[in-house]
Structure 1
Protein backbone atom coordinates (compact mmCIF):
# COMPACT_ATOMS: atom_id res chain seq x y z
CA UNK A 1 0.00 0.00 0.00
CA UNK A 2 2.76 2.42 0.97
CA UNK A 3 4.74 1.92 -2.25
CA UNK A 4 1.59 2.06 -4.40
CA UNK A 5 0.41 5.44 -3.11
CA UNK A 6 3.91 6.86 -3.06
CA UNK A 7 4.16 6.02 -6.78
CA UNK A 8 0.74 7.59 -7.41
CA UNK A 9 1.90 10.70 -5.53
CA UNK A 10 4.94 11.11 -7.79
CA UNK A 11 2.75 10.50 -10.81
CA UNK A 12 0.45 13.40 -9.98
CA UNK A 13 3.46 15.52 -9.01
CA UNK A 14 4.90 15.03 -12.52
CA UNK A 15 1.52 15.74 -14.14
CA UNK A 16 0.74 18.92 -12.22
CA UNK A 17 4.19 20.49 -12.15
CA UNK A 18 5.38 21.75 -15.54
CA UNK A 19 9.03 22.77 -15.80
CA UNK A 20 10.10 23.63 -19.34
CA UNK A 21 13.59 24.09 -20.73
CA UNK A 22 12.99 23.41 -24.43
CA UNK A 23 11.01 20.34 -23.32
CA UNK A 24 9.07 19.41 -20.17
CA UNK A 25 11.64 18.14 -17.67
CA UNK A 26 8.84 16.48 -15.68
CA UNK A 27 7.00 14.88 -18.62
CA UNK A 28 3.29 14.19 -18.24
CA UNK A 29 3.45 10.74 -19.92
CA UNK A 30 5.88 9.62 -17.20
CA UNK A 31 3.51 10.99 -14.57
CA UNK A 32 0.51 9.15 -15.96
CA UNK A 33 2.56 5.97 -16.24
CA UNK A 34 3.57 6.28 -12.58
CA UNK A 35 -0.12 6.63 -11.66
CA UNK A 36 -0.81 3.49 -13.70
CA UNK A 37 2.06 1.60 -12.05
CA UNK A 38 1.03 2.62 -8.56
CA UNK A 39 -2.64 1.72 -8.96
CA UNK A 40 -1.74 -1.54 -10.72
CA UNK A 41 -0.17 -2.78 -7.47
CA UNK A 42 -3.48 -2.61 -5.60
CA UNK A 43 -5.97 -2.99 -8.48
CA UNK A 44 -6.60 -6.64 -7.60
CA UNK A 45 -7.75 -5.65 -4.09
CA UNK A 46 -9.84 -2.64 -5.13
CA UNK A 47 -11.90 -3.11 -8.28
CA UNK A 48 -12.23 0.62 -8.99
CA UNK A 49 -8.48 0.57 -9.62
CA UNK A 50 -9.01 -0.98 -13.05
CA UNK A 51 -10.74 2.19 -14.27
CA UNK A 52 -7.85 4.31 -13.01
CA UNK A 53 -5.27 2.12 -14.76
CA UNK A 54 -7.21 2.19 -18.05
CA UNK A 55 -7.64 5.97 -18.00
CA UNK A 56 -4.01 6.60 -17.03
CA UNK A 57 -2.79 4.47 -19.94
CA UNK A 58 -4.97 6.48 -22.35
CA UNK A 59 -3.51 9.70 -20.92
CA UNK A 60 0.05 8.41 -21.31
CA UNK A 61 -0.57 8.53 -25.06
CA UNK A 62 -2.70 11.68 -25.16
CA UNK A 63 -0.22 13.69 -23.08
CA UNK A 64 2.79 13.11 -25.36
CA UNK A 65 2.33 16.51 -27.14
CA UNK A 66 2.64 18.23 -23.73
CA UNK A 67 6.30 17.22 -23.60
CA UNK A 68 7.13 19.58 -26.48
CA UNK A 69 5.04 22.61 -25.54
CA UNK A 70 3.18 24.06 -22.56
CA UNK A 71 -0.45 22.95 -22.27
CA UNK A 72 -0.97 22.68 -26.04
CA UNK A 73 -3.70 20.13 -25.41
CA UNK A 74 -5.78 22.51 -23.34
CA UNK A 75 -4.23 21.50 -20.05
CA UNK A 76 -4.15 18.50 -17.79
CA UNK A 77 -6.21 19.97 -14.95
CA UNK A 78 -9.29 22.14 -14.69
CA UNK A 79 -7.26 25.36 -14.36
CA UNK A 80 -4.58 24.67 -16.95
CA UNK A 81 -7.25 25.03 -19.63
CA UNK A 82 -6.05 28.37 -20.96
CA UNK A 83 -8.41 28.44 -23.96
CA UNK A 84 -11.86 29.40 -22.73
CA UNK A 85 -13.49 29.17 -26.12
CA UNK A 86 -12.97 27.24 -29.34
CA UNK A 87 -11.37 24.16 -27.81
CA UNK A 88 -10.47 21.44 -30.24
CA UNK A 89 -12.00 17.99 -29.78
CA UNK A 90 -8.56 16.83 -28.71
CA UNK A 91 -8.43 19.39 -25.91
CA UNK A 92 -11.94 18.58 -24.73
CA UNK A 93 -11.25 14.83 -24.75
CA UNK A 94 -8.02 15.35 -22.81
CA UNK A 95 -9.64 17.47 -20.10
CA UNK A 96 -12.64 15.13 -19.73
CA UNK A 97 -10.47 12.00 -19.45
CA UNK A 98 -8.15 13.74 -16.98
CA UNK A 99 -11.10 14.76 -14.79
CA UNK A 100 -12.41 11.19 -14.94
CA UNK A 101 -8.99 9.97 -13.83
CA UNK A 102 -9.04 12.29 -10.81
CA UNK A 103 -12.66 11.33 -10.05
CA UNK A 104 -11.85 7.60 -10.02
CA UNK A 105 -8.62 8.18 -8.09
CA UNK A 106 -10.75 9.83 -5.41
CA UNK A 107 -13.11 6.84 -5.51
CA UNK A 108 -10.13 4.53 -5.07
CA UNK A 109 -8.90 6.58 -2.11
CA UNK A 110 -12.37 6.47 -0.53
CA UNK A 111 -12.55 2.70 -1.01
CA UNK A 112 -9.12 2.25 0.58
CA UNK A 113 -9.78 4.48 3.59
CA UNK A 114 -13.20 2.96 4.21
CA UNK A 115 -11.52 -0.44 4.42
CA UNK A 116 -8.32 0.41 6.26
CA UNK A 117 -8.36 4.08 7.29
CA UNK A 118 -9.39 6.06 10.33
CA UNK A 119 -12.69 7.89 10.67
CA UNK A 120 -10.82 11.20 10.43
CA UNK A 121 -9.15 10.19 7.16
CA UNK A 122 -12.46 9.00 5.69
CA UNK A 123 -14.10 12.33 6.49
CA UNK A 124 -11.15 14.28 5.14
CA UNK A 125 -11.18 12.31 1.87
CA UNK A 126 -14.90 12.90 1.38
CA UNK A 127 -14.61 16.62 2.10
CA UNK A 128 -11.69 17.10 -0.28
CA UNK A 129 -13.51 15.15 -3.00
CA UNK A 130 -16.53 17.46 -2.69
CA UNK A 131 -14.40 20.62 -2.52
CA UNK A 132 -12.29 19.63 -5.54
CA UNK A 133 -15.23 18.99 -7.83
CA UNK A 134 -17.13 22.04 -6.57
CA UNK A 135 -14.08 24.03 -7.70
CA UNK A 136 -14.21 22.28 -11.08
CA UNK A 137 -17.89 23.17 -11.40
CA UNK A 138 -17.23 26.83 -10.50
CA UNK A 139 -14.42 27.02 -13.05
CA UNK A 140 -16.53 25.79 -15.94
CA UNK A 141 -19.48 27.88 -14.79
CA UNK A 142 -17.26 30.98 -14.82
CA UNK A 143 -16.02 30.23 -18.35
CA UNK A 144 -19.64 30.07 -19.52
CA UNK A 145 -20.24 33.69 -18.51
CA UNK A 146 -16.72 34.99 -19.17
CA UNK A 147 -17.59 36.40 -22.61
CA UNK A 148 -20.06 38.88 -21.12
CA UNK A 149 -17.89 40.07 -18.23
CA UNK A 150 -15.36 42.95 -18.05
CA UNK A 151 -11.71 42.00 -18.56
CA UNK A 152 -10.68 43.15 -15.08
CA UNK A 153 -13.36 41.00 -13.49
CA UNK A 154 -12.33 37.98 -15.59
CA UNK A 155 -8.70 38.51 -14.52
CA UNK A 156 -9.71 38.62 -10.85
CA UNK A 157 -11.73 35.41 -11.21
CA UNK A 158 -8.86 33.71 -13.04
CA UNK A 159 -6.36 34.65 -10.32
CA UNK A 160 -8.74 33.43 -7.64
CA UNK A 161 -9.27 30.13 -9.42
CA UNK A 162 -5.52 29.71 -9.86
CA UNK A 163 -5.06 30.04 -6.10
CA UNK A 164 -7.89 27.57 -5.46
CA UNK A 165 -6.38 25.16 -8.00
CA UNK A 166 -2.98 25.33 -6.32
CA UNK A 167 -4.50 24.71 -2.87
CA UNK A 168 -6.61 21.80 -4.13
CA UNK A 169 -3.61 20.16 -5.77
CA UNK A 170 -1.48 20.51 -2.63
CA UNK A 171 -4.26 19.09 -0.45
CA UNK A 172 -4.73 16.19 -2.86
CA UNK A 173 -1.00 15.37 -2.84
CA UNK A 174 -0.96 15.55 0.97
CA UNK A 175 -3.94 13.19 1.06
CA UNK A 176 -2.07 10.69 -1.13
CA UNK A 177 0.88 10.80 1.28
CA UNK A 178 -1.44 10.17 4.23
CA UNK A 179 -3.34 7.34 2.52
CA UNK A 180 -0.10 5.40 2.05
CA UNK A 181 0.02 5.15 5.86
CA UNK A 182 -3.54 3.82 6.28
CA UNK A 183 -2.41 0.54 7.81
CA UNK A 184 -0.41 2.41 10.47
CA UNK A 185 -3.32 4.78 11.10
CA UNK A 186 -5.71 1.87 11.46
CA UNK A 187 -3.45 0.10 13.96
CA UNK A 188 -3.16 3.30 16.02
CA UNK A 189 -6.95 3.71 16.04
CA UNK A 190 -7.47 0.11 17.13
CA UNK A 191 -4.89 0.49 19.92
CA UNK A 192 -6.66 3.67 21.06
CA UNK A 193 -10.03 1.90 21.07
CA UNK A 194 -8.54 -0.93 23.16
CA UNK A 195 -7.02 1.53 25.63
CA UNK A 196 -10.39 3.24 26.11
CA UNK A 197 -11.91 -0.04 27.29
CA UNK A 198 -9.70 -0.09 30.39
Structure 2
Protein backbone atom coordinates (compact mmCIF):
# COMPACT_ATOMS: atom_id res chain seq x y z
CA UNK A 1 0.00 0.00 0.00
CA UNK A 2 2.84 2.35 0.88
CA UNK A 3 4.58 1.78 -2.46
CA UNK A 4 1.34 2.56 -4.33
CA UNK A 5 0.78 5.85 -2.50
CA UNK A 6 4.46 6.70 -2.91
CA UNK A 7 4.03 6.57 -6.70
CA UNK A 8 0.77 8.51 -6.52
CA UNK A 9 2.52 11.14 -4.36
CA UNK A 10 5.34 11.54 -6.89
CA UNK A 11 2.83 11.67 -9.74
CA UNK A 12 0.91 14.50 -8.12
CA UNK A 13 4.18 16.29 -7.37
CA UNK A 14 5.25 16.00 -11.03
CA UNK A 15 1.95 17.49 -12.18
CA UNK A 16 2.30 20.28 -9.62
CA UNK A 17 5.85 21.35 -10.53
CA UNK A 18 6.14 23.13 -13.86
CA UNK A 19 9.73 24.04 -14.74
CA UNK A 20 10.77 24.61 -18.35
CA UNK A 21 14.34 24.58 -19.61
CA UNK A 22 14.36 26.39 -22.93
CA UNK A 23 11.29 24.67 -24.45
CA UNK A 24 11.04 21.36 -22.58
CA UNK A 25 9.21 20.76 -19.31
CA UNK A 26 11.65 18.83 -17.10
CA UNK A 27 8.80 17.52 -14.91
CA UNK A 28 6.28 16.60 -17.60
CA UNK A 29 2.66 16.20 -16.53
CA UNK A 30 2.46 13.14 -18.77
CA UNK A 31 4.98 11.34 -16.58
CA UNK A 32 3.20 12.49 -13.42
CA UNK A 33 -0.12 11.09 -14.59
CA UNK A 34 1.59 7.85 -15.55
CA UNK A 35 3.05 7.61 -12.01
CA UNK A 36 -0.48 8.03 -10.63
CA UNK A 37 -1.67 5.24 -12.93
CA UNK A 38 1.23 2.99 -11.90
CA UNK A 39 0.59 3.66 -8.22
CA UNK A 40 -3.11 2.87 -8.43
CA UNK A 41 -2.30 -0.26 -10.42
CA UNK A 42 -0.39 -1.53 -7.35
CA UNK A 43 -3.50 -1.26 -5.16
CA UNK A 44 -5.62 -4.35 -4.58
CA UNK A 45 -8.29 -4.96 -7.20
CA UNK A 46 -11.11 -4.96 -4.63
CA UNK A 47 -10.87 -1.18 -4.19
CA UNK A 48 -13.91 -0.12 -6.26
CA UNK A 49 -12.79 3.30 -7.46
CA UNK A 50 -9.29 2.28 -8.55
CA UNK A 51 -10.36 1.55 -12.13
CA UNK A 52 -11.80 5.07 -12.53
CA UNK A 53 -8.55 6.64 -11.32
CA UNK A 54 -6.51 4.46 -13.68
CA UNK A 55 -8.70 5.34 -16.69
CA UNK A 56 -8.60 9.09 -16.08
CA UNK A 57 -4.86 9.04 -15.32
CA UNK A 58 -4.09 7.26 -18.60
CA UNK A 59 -6.34 9.69 -20.49
CA UNK A 60 -4.54 12.65 -18.93
CA UNK A 61 -1.10 11.16 -19.58
CA UNK A 62 -1.95 11.01 -23.29
CA UNK A 63 -3.82 14.33 -23.54
CA UNK A 64 -1.07 16.30 -21.74
CA UNK A 65 1.69 15.42 -24.20
CA UNK A 66 1.50 18.89 -25.85
CA UNK A 67 2.11 20.61 -22.50
CA UNK A 68 5.73 19.49 -22.59
CA UNK A 69 6.33 22.16 -25.27
CA UNK A 70 3.62 24.72 -24.41
CA UNK A 71 6.04 27.55 -23.59
CA UNK A 72 7.49 27.45 -27.11
CA UNK A 73 4.02 27.57 -28.68
CA UNK A 74 3.09 30.70 -26.70
CA UNK A 75 6.28 32.49 -27.75
CA UNK A 76 5.74 31.63 -31.42
CA UNK A 77 2.06 32.59 -31.46
CA UNK A 78 2.26 35.73 -29.34
CA UNK A 79 -0.28 38.11 -30.76
CA UNK A 80 -2.30 35.46 -32.57
CA UNK A 81 -5.45 35.58 -30.46
CA UNK A 82 -7.30 32.58 -32.00
CA UNK A 83 -4.44 30.19 -31.24
CA UNK A 84 -4.05 31.50 -27.69
CA UNK A 85 -7.82 31.14 -27.25
CA UNK A 86 -7.65 27.50 -28.33
CA UNK A 87 -4.84 26.87 -25.83
CA UNK A 88 -6.90 28.45 -23.05
CA UNK A 89 -9.83 26.15 -23.88
CA UNK A 90 -7.41 23.20 -23.91
CA UNK A 91 -6.05 24.17 -20.49
CA UNK A 92 -9.56 24.67 -19.10
CA UNK A 93 -10.40 21.14 -20.32
CA UNK A 94 -7.24 19.79 -18.66
CA UNK A 95 -8.13 21.49 -15.38
CA UNK A 96 -11.62 19.99 -15.39
CA UNK A 97 -10.38 16.48 -16.22
CA UNK A 98 -7.66 16.85 -13.57
CA UNK A 99 -10.37 17.81 -11.07
CA UNK A 100 -12.23 14.62 -12.02
CA UNK A 101 -9.02 12.66 -11.40
CA UNK A 102 -8.60 14.32 -8.00
CA UNK A 103 -12.25 13.55 -7.19
CA UNK A 104 -11.76 9.87 -8.00
CA UNK A 105 -8.46 9.83 -6.10
CA UNK A 106 -10.17 11.19 -3.00
CA UNK A 107 -12.93 8.60 -3.49
CA UNK A 108 -10.24 5.90 -3.71
CA UNK A 109 -8.61 7.09 -0.50
CA UNK A 110 -11.98 7.19 1.28
CA UNK A 111 -12.74 3.64 0.11
CA UNK A 112 -9.44 2.41 1.52
CA UNK A 113 -9.63 4.05 4.94
CA UNK A 114 -13.35 3.38 5.36
CA UNK A 115 -12.80 -0.34 4.80
CA UNK A 116 -10.38 -0.50 7.72
CA UNK A 117 -12.27 1.91 9.96
CA UNK A 118 -9.60 4.59 10.25
CA UNK A 119 -12.07 7.29 11.36
CA UNK A 120 -9.53 10.07 11.97
CA UNK A 121 -8.16 9.65 8.44
CA UNK A 122 -11.68 9.42 7.01
CA UNK A 123 -12.55 12.80 8.57
CA UNK A 124 -9.28 14.38 7.44
CA UNK A 125 -9.69 13.09 3.89
CA UNK A 126 -13.31 14.22 3.74
CA UNK A 127 -12.44 17.71 5.00
CA UNK A 128 -9.50 18.07 2.60
CA UNK A 129 -11.69 16.82 -0.26
CA UNK A 130 -14.44 19.35 0.45
CA UNK A 131 -12.05 22.28 0.68
CA UNK A 132 -9.93 21.22 -2.31
CA UNK A 133 -12.83 20.67 -4.70
CA UNK A 134 -14.74 23.78 -3.57
CA UNK A 135 -11.75 26.08 -3.93
CA UNK A 136 -10.71 24.56 -7.26
CA UNK A 137 -14.22 24.95 -8.70
CA UNK A 138 -14.32 28.58 -7.56
CA UNK A 139 -10.94 29.25 -9.20
CA UNK A 140 -12.10 27.62 -12.45
CA UNK A 141 -15.33 29.61 -12.35
CA UNK A 142 -13.46 32.89 -11.91
CA UNK A 143 -11.23 32.10 -14.88
CA UNK A 144 -14.23 32.55 -17.14
CA UNK A 145 -14.47 36.19 -16.03
CA UNK A 146 -10.79 37.02 -16.52
CA UNK A 147 -11.28 38.72 -19.89
CA UNK A 148 -13.66 41.26 -18.29
CA UNK A 149 -11.40 42.16 -15.36
CA UNK A 150 -9.43 45.36 -15.13
CA UNK A 151 -5.67 45.04 -15.24
CA UNK A 152 -5.24 45.73 -11.51
CA UNK A 153 -8.00 43.32 -10.50
CA UNK A 154 -6.65 40.68 -12.88
CA UNK A 155 -3.16 41.00 -11.40
CA UNK A 156 -4.57 40.69 -7.87
CA UNK A 157 -6.70 37.70 -8.89
CA UNK A 158 -3.72 35.92 -10.47
CA UNK A 159 -1.60 36.41 -7.34
CA UNK A 160 -4.36 35.23 -4.98
CA UNK A 161 -5.37 32.30 -7.23
CA UNK A 162 -1.75 31.19 -7.52
CA UNK A 163 -1.21 31.25 -3.76
CA UNK A 164 -4.48 29.46 -3.06
CA UNK A 165 -3.78 26.88 -5.77
CA UNK A 166 -0.34 26.17 -4.32
CA UNK A 167 -1.84 25.77 -0.84
CA UNK A 168 -4.45 23.32 -2.16
CA UNK A 169 -1.83 21.22 -3.96
CA UNK A 170 0.38 21.17 -0.87
CA UNK A 171 -2.61 20.05 1.23
CA UNK A 172 -3.21 17.18 -1.20
CA UNK A 173 0.48 16.23 -1.14
CA UNK A 174 0.51 16.25 2.67
CA UNK A 175 -2.55 13.99 2.73
CA UNK A 176 -0.96 11.61 0.23
CA UNK A 177 2.18 11.57 2.36
CA UNK A 178 0.02 10.57 5.33
CA UNK A 179 -1.42 7.70 3.29
CA UNK A 180 2.11 6.53 2.45
CA UNK A 181 2.79 6.05 6.14
CA UNK A 182 -0.47 4.25 6.99
CA UNK A 183 0.13 0.60 7.72
CA UNK A 184 -2.84 -1.51 6.69
CA UNK A 185 -2.83 -5.23 7.14
CA UNK A 186 -4.16 -6.89 4.01
CA UNK A 187 -7.15 -9.16 4.51
CA UNK A 188 -6.77 -12.57 2.96
Q: RCO (CA 8 Å, sep 6+): is it higher in 1 or 2?
A: 2
- In the other structure, the counterpart of 1:86 is 85
Give the direction of change, closer, same or farther, for the CA distance of 1:160–1:91 in structure 2 (3 Å limit): closer
**Unaligned 5+ residue runs, structure 2?**
75-83
CA shift, 1:93, in A, is 3.4
Preserved CA contact (<8 Å) 2:12 2:36: yes
Map residues 174-189 of structure 1 onto 2, 5 A cutoff.
174-183=174-183
Q: Does 1:168 align with 2:157?
A: no
Alignment length (residue pairs) = 174
Distance 1:70 1:167 in 2: 24
Distance 1:39 1:55 in 2: 11
CA shift, 1:162, in A, is 0.7
CA RMSD of aligned residues (A): 2.4
Q: Does 1:121 align with 2:121?
A: yes
Give the direction of change, closer, same or farther, for the CA distance of 1:155–1:43 in structure 2 (3 Å limit): farther
- In the other structure, the counterpart of 2:59 is 58
Map residues 1-198 of structure 1 onto 2, 5 A cutoff.
1-22=1-22, 23-70=24-71, 86-87=85-86, 90-116=90-116, 118-183=118-183
Distance 2:149 2:29 in 1: 33
Preserved CA contact (<8 Å) 2:48 2:111: no
Give the direction of change, closer, same or farther, for the CA distance of 1:153–1:127 in structure 2 (3 Å limit): same
Preserved CA contact (<8 Å) 2:99 2:133: no
Moved more, 170-179 or 137-146: 137-146
Give the direction of change, closer, same or farther, for the CA distance of 1:90–1:167 in structure 2 (3 Å limit): closer
Distance 1:143 1:40 in 2: 34
Give the direction of change, closer, same or farther, for the CA distance of 1:71–1:48 in structure 2 (3 Å limit): farther
Secondary structure in 2 aligned to 1:69? helix
Q: Which runs of 4+ in 1 moved over 4 A?
A: none
**TM-score, normalising length: structure 2:** 0.82
Moved more, 59-68 or 47-56: 59-68
CA shift, 1:51, in A, is 0.6
